[in-house]
Amino acid sequence: MNDGTPRVIFDCNIFFQAFLTPAGPAYACLQIVENKQAKLLLSLEILAESRDVLRRPFVCEKFPHVAAEDIDRFLFNVA
């Protein structure tokens, strides 16, 4: 049963942008979910795709300070 809280689905682009730019609009979307203003509908496939994209070589080259553990922690906290 729906309690009236909006439900949202974010694709991997939102997670990608939120992880790399915590002051940006994608991160603000995650904060809406964290503040329980919306309910996140999430699948294992979206998490896997997000993990894959964040670990791609071009991302690692552009953001060398990002560790695999940071990505895993971020996605764990999202789920």
Can you give the pLDDT at residue 4?
87
User: Average pLDDT in the 34-49 region?
Assistant: 95
Q: For residues 6 and 72, what is the distance between their CA atoms, to the nearest angstrom?
A: 27
* DSSP β-ladder status, 39-40 and 7-8: parallel
Prediction pTM value: 0.87
What letter does residue 64 receive in the DSSP assignment?
A: T
Can you give the pLDDT at residue 3?
82
Q: Which two tokens stand for residue 66?
A: 């990002």
Q: Hey, which residues does 8 pair with through a beta bridge?
A: 40
Q: Hey, which residues does 40 pair with through a beta bridge?
A: 8
Q: What pLDDT, in 10s, does the model give residues 61-74?
A: 999 988 999 999 99
